[in-house]
C-alpha cells in the first residue's frame, strides 16, 4: 500500500488532531434541494465523507433548505439516492428547516445584544446604501431603532403582519467595511411561501449566512468545507458565531471542480432541462450523478476520479478524458463481453454448409478468470460492421477487403473472395470462404492473422435500440465563451440507432447492467429497456488507436 501525500485539508485536520484541538472530526455535505447533484458535488461528497471515514469521524447530510420558492421534495429524494449510490452513509440526516425555531431565537438574541435591526428600506434603497467595491456604504435611517422596537417589529414580521419585501432583519456590523458582505447583511426576509417541509408555518426565512454557520454549530461540525466562492463569507460566518457565543465551527474553502465540454452550475443545468435541450436531469449526456449513472458509470469509477483529481485551491478544469479513463479502467475489469453490430453489412461464408449452425464457446471477460463462458450461435450468414470492410484497403488495414483474411472472434478464419454493391456504390454483401481447421480453441490451421472482427449470426440475431452519446458542448469551457452558453451545445450529442443486431445472450439483461460490446465500447442497459424493446446506452468507447492512425494519415 503506497503512502499518498496529504491534501491541504488533510494536513489541517491532522494538525488539529495532533494538537488535540479536536478529539474527532465532524464534517457535513450541505446541498440545497433545488436541483440534482452533479459530478462536482460528487467530488465534494467524496471529500466530506471520505475525510470522516479516513479520520474515523462523522459526516452529516444536511439539506440547506432556507429558500422555499426553489426547493422541492423531488430534489431531496434524488440527492439522498445519489449519495447512497455513490457508496456513502451519513451519520445524521438534518434539514436546516428543522432549526428554524432555533435560528429565530438566535436572531432575537442578536437583536437583544444590539447586533441586529429591522430595516424598512426597499431593495433598491438598500442596494444604493450599500455602496460598491470602490465606494463605502452609508447607514440606513432605520439603523438606530431601539432594541425594543426591533424586537416588536421582528415578532410582527414572523406573525405575518407585513407583505413580502416590506421589512428585513439586518445584522448591524459596519457599512464601511471593505468586505461588502459585512455591510449590514440581511439575515431574515419575509416570504409568504409554502415550504416543502414546514408548510405554511413560517413567513420569515433566514438567509444563507444566518443559517449555514449556525446549523454547522448546532451539529458541532468541526470542519465546514465549502467552495472558494464562499471565502468572502468567512468573516461573517465567524462574526455570527462569535456574537451568538455558540460552538465555533470553522469554514475551509477549496476550488470547485470543473470538467471540459460541460457546464457545472445547477442554474445552467436546470435551463438545459427546462428548455428540453436534454431529456431530464438524468439524461446520459448530463454531468449529473443520475445522468452518469444512466450513462453506465459506476460509483467506483466516480470515487476513483474524485480521488485522482484531488483537491486544491486553484482554478481548474479537468479533462473529461480522465473521467472516461476512470470508467474504462473499472468497466474493463467487471463488464462482460458481448457482440453487437451497430452498422451491419451481410457476410456470407460460401463454403459453410447451408442450414448448419454451431454453438461456439465465448469467454465472458478475459480480465476475469472466473468470469465464465457463454454460447454464441454461428452460421453461414453473419452481420459484420460496415467499418470492417474496405474495397481499397490501405496496407495497415487489418480487416476485410478483397483478398484479405481475418479471424471471426471465437470462430473461424475467413478470407474475402468477392462482394456486391448496389447502384449507389454501397456494399451490400461480402463473400468469404472459411478454413474449417481454424476453429477457435481447436485451431490446427497454423495460420496467423493480424485482425479479428466481431459479428452476429443473421438467423440468430436479436435487435436492440442503441444510443450513442457525444459531448454535450462543442467547446471546452462553454461557461467562459462569449454569449449564451447554450449557443455551444453540440447538435450531434445524441445518435439513436433504432435497430442494431445483438447476440442472443444480450437479451438477458436488466437496467444498469454493464457490457463491453466487443471492439466498440462499454454499454449499459437503459432504465426504459424492456425484454420486448431493448435499449442500450453507450457509456464510453474503447481506446481506438486505428481511428487515431486514420486521422494522422488524413
Task: Return the residue matching grid coordinates 435487435.
Answer: 463
Q: Is 266 annotated as a binding residue?
A: yes
Nearest distance from C-beta of residue 461 to RNA, angstroms: 19
Nearest distance from C-beta of residue 277 to RNA, angstroms: 21
Q: How many CA atoms lie within 13 A of 237 on its CB side?
A: 21
Nearest distance from C-beta of residue 7 to RNA, angstroms: 4
- H or E element in which residue 344 lies: strand 344-349
Strands, E assignment, 207-312: 223-227, 250-254
Residue (112 or 544) nearer to RNA, CB: 544
Q: Is 264 annotated as a binding residue?
A: yes
Distance between CA atoms of 215 and 236, rounded to whole angstroms? Answer: 14
For the chain, how many residues are written?
554
Q: Cβ(492)–Cβ(508) under 8 Å?
A: no
| Set 266, 303, 337, 439: catalytic member | 266
Q: Which of 421, 418, 415 is nearest to 433 (CA)?
A: 415
Distance between CA atoms of 361 and 371, rounded to whole angstroms? Answer: 13
Q: Is 126 annotated as a binding residue?
A: no
| Set 167, 189, 256, 285: catalytic member | 256
Q: Which of 450, 42, 441, 52 is nearest to 222 (CA)?
A: 52
What nine digits make up the cell of 383? 452481420
Would you tell me how many other CB atoms lie within 10 Å of the CB of residue 325?
17
Nearest distance from C-beta of residue 314 to RNA, angstroms: 3
Helices (H), 60-170: 73-86, 100-112, 123-130, 147-159
Residue (283 or 378) nearer to RNA, CB: 378
Distance between CA atoms of 215 and 244, rounded to whole angstroms? Answer: 13
Q: Is 33 annotated as a binding residue?
A: yes
Residue (258 or 290) nearer to RNA, CB: 258
Nearest distance from C-beta of residue 22 to RNA, angstroms: 19
Residue (185 or 283) nearer to RNA, CB: 185
Q: Is 55 annotated as a binding residue?
A: no
Residue 536 Ramachandran class (φ > 0 left, ψ -120 to 50 alpha, else beta): beta
Residue (104 or 205) nearer to RNA, CB: 205
Q: How many CA atoms lie within 13 A of 363 on its CB side?
A: 9
Q: Cβ(52)–Cβ(61) under 8 Å?
A: no
Task: Return the residue matching grid coordinates 461573517.
Answer: 236
DSSP symbol at 486: G
Active site residue 266: yes
Q: Is 142 annotated as a binding residue?
A: no
Strands, E assignment, 185-282: 186-190, 204-206, 223-227, 250-254
| Set 10, 32, 465, 481: catalytic member | 32
Residue (220 or 445) nearer to RNA, CB: 445
Nearest distance from C-beta of residue 184 to RNA, angstroms: 10
Nearest distance from C-beta of residue 515 to RNA, angstroms: 11
Residue (123 or 147) nearer to RNA, CB: 123
Q: Is 34 annotated as a binding residue?
A: yes
Active site residues: 32, 256, 266
Give the residue ranges of the annotated binding site for L-glutamine. 64, 208
Give the residue ranges of the annotated binding site. 32-34, 64, 208, 227, 264-266
Give the residue ranges of the annotated binding site for ATP. 32-34, 227, 264-266
Amino acid at each position: 500500500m503506497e503512502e499518498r501525500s496529504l491534501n491541504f485539508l488533510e494536513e489541517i485536520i491532522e494538525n488539529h488532531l495532533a494538537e488535540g484541538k479536536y478529539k474527532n472530526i465532524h464534517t457535513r455535505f450541505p446541498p440545497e434541494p433545488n436541483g440534482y447533484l452533479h459530478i462536482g458535488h460528487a467530488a465534494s461528497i467524496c471529500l466530506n465523507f471520505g475525510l470522516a471515514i479516513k479520520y474515523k469521524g462523522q459526516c452529516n447530510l444536511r439539506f440547506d433548505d432556507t429558500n422555499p420558492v426553489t426547493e422541492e421534495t423531488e430534489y431531496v429524494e434524488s440527492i439522498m439516492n445519489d449519495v447512497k449510490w455513490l457508496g456513502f452513509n451519513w451519520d445524521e440526516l438534518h434539514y436546516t428547516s428543522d432549526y428554524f425555531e432555533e435560528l429565530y431565537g438566535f436572531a432575537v438574541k442578536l437583536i437583544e445584544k444590539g447586533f441586529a435591526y429591522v430595516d424598512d428600506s426597499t431593495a433598491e434603497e438598500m442596494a444604493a446604501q450599500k455602496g460598491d467595491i470602490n465606494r463605502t456604504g452609508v447607514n440606513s435611517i432605520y439603523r438606530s431603532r431601539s432594541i425594543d422596537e426591533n424586537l416588536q417589529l421582528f415578532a410582527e414580521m414572523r406573525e405575518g403582519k407585513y407583505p413580502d419585501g416590506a421589512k428585513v432583519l439586518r445584522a448591524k456590523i459596519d457599512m464601511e467595511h471593505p468586505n461588502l458582505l459585512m455591510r449590514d447583511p440581511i439575515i431574515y426576509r419575509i416570504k409568504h411561501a409554502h415550504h416543502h417541509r414546514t408548510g405554511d408555518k413560517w413567513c420569515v426565512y433566514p438567509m444563507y449566512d444566518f443559517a449555514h454557520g449556525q446549523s454547522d454549530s448546532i451539529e458541532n461540525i468541526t470542519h465546514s468545507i465549502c467552495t472558494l466562492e464562499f471565502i468572502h463569507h468567512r468573516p461573517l460566518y465567524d462574526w455570527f458565531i462569535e456574537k451568538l457565543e455558540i460552538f465555533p465551527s470553522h469554514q475551509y474553502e477549496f476550488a470547485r471542480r470543473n470538467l471540459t465540454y460541460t457546464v457545472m452550475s445547477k442554474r445552467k443545468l436546470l435551463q438545459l432541462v427546462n428548455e428540453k435541450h436534454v431529456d431530464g436531469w438524468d439524461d446520459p449526456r448530463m454531468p449529473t450523478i443520475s445522468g452518469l449513472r444512466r450513462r453506465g458509470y459506476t460509483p467506483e469509477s466516480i470515487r476513483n476520479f474524485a480521488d485522482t483529481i484531488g483537491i486544491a485551491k486553484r482554478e481548474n478544469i479537468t479533462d473529461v478524458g480522465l473521467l472516461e479513463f476512470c470508467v474504462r479502467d473499472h468497466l474493463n475489469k467487471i463488464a462482460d463481453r458481448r457482440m453487437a453490430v451497430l452498422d451491419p453489412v451481410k457476410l456470407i461464408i460460401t463454403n459453410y454448409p447451408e442450414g448448419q449452425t454451431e454453438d461456439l464457446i465465448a469467454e465472458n471477460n478475459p480480465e476475469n478468470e472466473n468470469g465464465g463462458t457463454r454460447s454464441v450461435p454461428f452460421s453461414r450468414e453473419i452481420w459484420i460492421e460496415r467499418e470492417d470492410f474496405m474495397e481499397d484497403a490501405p496496407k495497415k488495414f487489418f480487416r476485410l477487403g478483397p483478398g484479405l483474411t481475418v479471424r471471426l472472434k471465437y470462430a473461424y478464419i475467413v478470407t474475402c473472395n468477392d462482394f456486391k454493391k448496389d447502384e449507389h456504390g454501397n456494399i451490400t454483401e461480402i463473400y468469404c470462404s472459411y478454413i474449417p481447421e481454424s476453429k477457435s480453441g481447436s485451431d490446427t490451421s497454423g495460420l496467423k492473422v493480424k485482425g479479428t472482427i466481431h459479428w452476429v449470426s443473421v438467423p440468430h440475431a436479436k435487435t436492440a435500440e442503441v444510443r450513442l452519446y457525444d459531448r454535450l458542448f462543442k467547446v471546452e469551457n462553454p461557461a467562459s465563451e462569449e454569449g449564451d452558453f447554450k449557443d455551444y451545445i453540440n447538435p450531434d450529442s445524441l445518435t439513436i440507432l433504432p435497430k442494431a443486431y445483438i447476440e442472443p445472450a444480450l437479451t438477458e439483461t436488466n437496467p444498469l447492467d454493464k457490457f463491453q460490446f466487443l471492439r466498440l465500447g462499454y454499454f449499459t442497459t437503459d432504465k426504459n429497456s424492456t425484454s420486448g424493446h431493448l435499449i442500450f446506452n453507450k457509456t464510453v468507447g474503447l481506446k481506438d488507436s486505428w481511428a487515431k492512425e486514420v486521422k494522422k494519415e488524413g
